[in-house]
Amino acid sequence: MKFFILIVLVLAGGYMFPQVYEEVDGPCQALEKKLVRDNTENGLENSVISNLALSISNGDLGERIADDKFPNLPTRLGCLATYYDIPEDLA
């Protein structure tokens, strides 16, 4: 029983981490924020253009990327899988 509780806590932490770390409301929004952060030059992650792109999309772009990459998973789980699949340094 303790092992089951430990597994549930680890899975819940893995599900909530991107949302808390990126300071957004859902995993698809966290995916978008990570993509914008990784694809902008250093120092421009808080620029007007990146903030505008994030505010317009509201998770829709992340959902489409996740559906393309993991079509058999539910959208939110696909966003999480894609979030964790992206390497930290794309350079």
> What pLDDT shows up at residue 50?
64
Confidence of residue 61 (pLDDT cuts 50, 70, 90): confident
pTM of the model: 0.76
- Parse the chain into domains and list their residue ranges: 2-85
- What is the C-alpha to C-alpha distance for residues 71 and 79, in angstroms, rounded to an integer? 11
- 3 state SS of 91: coil
Q: What is the pLDDT of residues 17-44, one digit of tens each?
A: 999 998 888 899 898 888 877 766 656 5
